[in-house]
């Protein structure tokens, strides 16, 4: 009888667990998110935070947690020093991200989630505090504790820039656009600033340029600069790379910077079609033949300073108005050439051109005449 009672007590303790499988005494609870931040971007509030990977027991989570996002709206300065809302009204759940969808919101190891706001909601709550907190869970039984509270004052943003353009020059990709004149609610704007962003889609051979002008990829954005002008020159580019640009305007409302949504996206693949400068100071010296040594012509010119210089080519003609034939099959690495194929008693015209690594050839120098004396 005692054996039966002990067995019954043991069964009550372990429940219906399969033999050999440990049964947790309580639900697994993720650690609390502690670095939640919020910022307005256009008609949305963007949240950033690190996703917990361990439980409150400091054990690895058995699965990617589901994320619950809560929001409340309060009058300005309604938060206490700790960052928690002073009001007792609980925030409401605005979205849930299932664990199997969390990966689509990850950027550089953090979660980035945009909470879209209707234009009339922004207008009705302009200047109020939008307060957010998040919870995570791997069990329906129990969620994590609330994260820190993240607060942002929301205002009607500038309308997005709609006519961003890009063109390539030898030394920069030049962007320009038209300044927006009003907010999304129709208010007039002045003293706008702009933030320029770029994504590198890789080399042109590896990156597909979308026909629609909108990238089908989700590359990492790099902030390039703030500017007050409606033009920007990106000098830190590389030829044969594909870049995607966007610009956001921002207006200052009190101590708050209100940023617009993204402009239209512009994709460009700059190609090096710009030839180097023409070499300078071409000179020629005739070395007469001595006994059995044939005469030849020594050519020299000033070194080119282009950083992408690949070498030089030399042309020779018997007519001043014709480029003539190329004498060196391979590019010359140094600004000098010896022509040993001259014929005594003839007059030649020489010119030189520089070539860069992309194969672009400069305009030739002015031809200089050389008369080779007779034997």
d(CA 71, CA 346): 90
Residues 205 and 89 both lie in one domain: no
pLDDT at 155 over 90: yes
| Token pair in block for residue 172 | 């920069």
State the average pLDDT over residues 225-241.
Answer: 95
Q: Count CB neighbours of 223 within 10 A.
A: 9
216 pLDDT tier (thresholds 50, 70, 90): very low
Residues 30 and 141 both lie in one domain: yes
C-alpha 348, offset from chain centre: 54
Residues 191 and 256 both lie in one domain: yes
SS3 string, 164-226, reads CEEEECCCCEEEECCCCCEECCCCECCCCEEEEEEEEEEECCCCCCCCCCCCCCCCCCEEEEE
Q: Is residue 259 part of a domain?
A: yes
pLDDT at 86 over 70: no
Give every CB contact of residue 50 below 8 A, 6+ residues apart in sequence: 33, 35, 109, 110, 111
Q: Are 154 and 176 in contact (CB under 8 A)?
A: no
Q: Report the candidate in 141, 149, 146 with the shortest Cα–Cα distance to residue 67.
A: 146
Give the three-class secondary structure for 61: coil
Last residue of a domain, one of 127, 153, 179: 153
Residues 147 and 199 both lie in one domain: no
Q: Report the candidate in 276, 306, 268 with the shortest Cα–Cα distance to residue 168.
A: 268
- Which pLDDT does position 78 carry in this prediction? 54
Q: Is residue 16 part of a domain?
A: no
Residues 319 and 251 both lie in one domain: no
Residues 78 and 134 both lie in one domain: yes
Last residue of a domain, one of 268, 296, 330: 268
Q: Would strands 368-371 and 347-356 be described as parallel, antiparallel, or unpaired?
A: antiparallel
CATH code for the domain of 183: 2.60.40.10
Residues 79 and 179 both lie in one domain: no
Last residue of a domain, one of 153, 173, 201: 153
292 pLDDT tier (thresholds 50, 70, 90): confident
State the average pLDDT over residues 152-181.
Answer: 95
Residues 256 and 337 both lie in one domain: no
351 pLDDT tier (thresholds 50, 70, 90): very high
pLDDT digit string, tens, across residues 236-279: 999 999 999 999 999 988 778 899 999 999 999 999 999 999 99
109 pLDDT tier (thresholds 50, 70, 90): confident
Domain range enclosing 294: 283-371
Residues 50 and 147 both lie in one domain: yes
| Token pair in block for residue 53 | 């990977």
pLDDT digit string, tens, across residues 316-333: 999 999 999 999 999 999
> What are the E-state strand segments in 27-177?
37-41, 44-49, 66-74, 92-97, 106-107, 110-116, 129-137, 150-153, 165-168, 173-176
pLDDT digit string, tens, across residues 167-202: 999 999 999 999 999 998 888 888 899 999 999 998
- Which pLDDT does position 185 carry in this prediction? 86
d(CA 288, CA 342): 11
- Which pLDDT does position 209 carry in this prediction? 47
Q: Is residue 250 part of a domain?
A: yes
C-alpha 143, offset from chain centre: 36
d(CA 322, CA 316): 9
pTM, two decimals, is 0.73
Residues 264 and 200 both lie in one domain: yes
- Which pLDDT does position 87 carry in this prediction? 52
pLDDT at 84 over 70: no
pLDDT digit string, tens, across residues 9-36: 344 434 444 455 555 567 899 999 999 9
Q: Is residue 42 part of a domain?
A: yes
Residues 196 and 93 both lie in one domain: no
Residues 258 and 325 both lie in one domain: no
- Which residues face 195 on adjacent strands? 226, 248
- CA atoms in the 13 A half-sphere facing the CB of 109: 1
Q: Per the structure, how many domains does the chain have?
A: 3
- Which pLDDT does position 177 carry in this prediction? 97
d(CA 329, CA 363): 18
Of residues 25 and 166, the one with the higher pLDDT is 166
d(CA 173, CA 229): 15
Q: Is residue 146 part of a domain?
A: yes
d(CA 319, CA 74): 86
d(CA 178, CA 300): 51
């Amino acid at each position: 009888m005692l054996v039966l009672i002990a067995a019954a007590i043991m069964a009550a303790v372990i429940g219906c667990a399969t033999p050999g499988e440990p049964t947790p005494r309580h639900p697994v609870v993720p650690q609390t998110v502690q670095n939640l931040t919020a910022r307005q971007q256009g008609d949305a509030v963007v949240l950033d935070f690190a996703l917990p990977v361990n439980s409150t027991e400091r054990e690895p989570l058995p699965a990617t947690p589901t994320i619950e996002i809560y929001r409340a709206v309060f009058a300005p300065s309604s938060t206490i020093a700790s960052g928690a809302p002073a009001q007792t009204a609980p925030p409401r759940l605005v979205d849930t991200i299932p664990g199997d969808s969390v990966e689509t919101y990850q950027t550089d190891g953090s979660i980035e989630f945009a909470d879209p706001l209707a234009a009339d909601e922004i207008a009705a709550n302009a200047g109020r505090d939008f307060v957010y907190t998040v919870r995570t869970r791997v069990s329906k039984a129990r969620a994590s504790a609330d994260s820190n509270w993240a607060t942002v004052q929301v205002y009607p943003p500038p309308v997005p820039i709609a006519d961003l353009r890009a063109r390539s020059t030898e030394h920069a990709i030049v962007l320009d656009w038209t300044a927006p004149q009003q907010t999304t609610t129709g208010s007039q704007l002045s003293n706008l600033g702009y933030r320029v962003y770029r994504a590198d889609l890789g080399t042109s051979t590896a990156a597909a340029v979308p026909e629609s002008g909108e990238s089908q990829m989700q590359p990492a954005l790099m902030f390039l600069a703030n500017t007050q002008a409606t033009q920007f020159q990106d000098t830190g580019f590389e030829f044969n790379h594909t870049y995607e640009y966007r610009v956001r305007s921002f207006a200052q409302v009190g101590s708050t910077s209100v940023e617009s949504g993204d402009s239209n996206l512009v994709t460009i693949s700059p190609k090096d079609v710009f030839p180097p400068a023409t070499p300078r100071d071409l000179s020629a010296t005739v070395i007469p033949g001595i006994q059995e040594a044939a005469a030849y012509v020594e050519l020299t010119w000033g070194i080119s300073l282009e950083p992408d210089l690949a070498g030089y080519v030399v042309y020779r003609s018997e007519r001043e108005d014709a480029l003539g034939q190329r004498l060196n099959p391979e590019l010359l690495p140094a600004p000098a050439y010896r022509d040993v194929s001259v014929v005594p008693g003839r007059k030649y015209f020489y010119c030189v051109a520089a070539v860069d690594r992309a194969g672009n050839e400069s305009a030739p120098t002015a031809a200089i005449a050389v008369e080779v004396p007779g034997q």
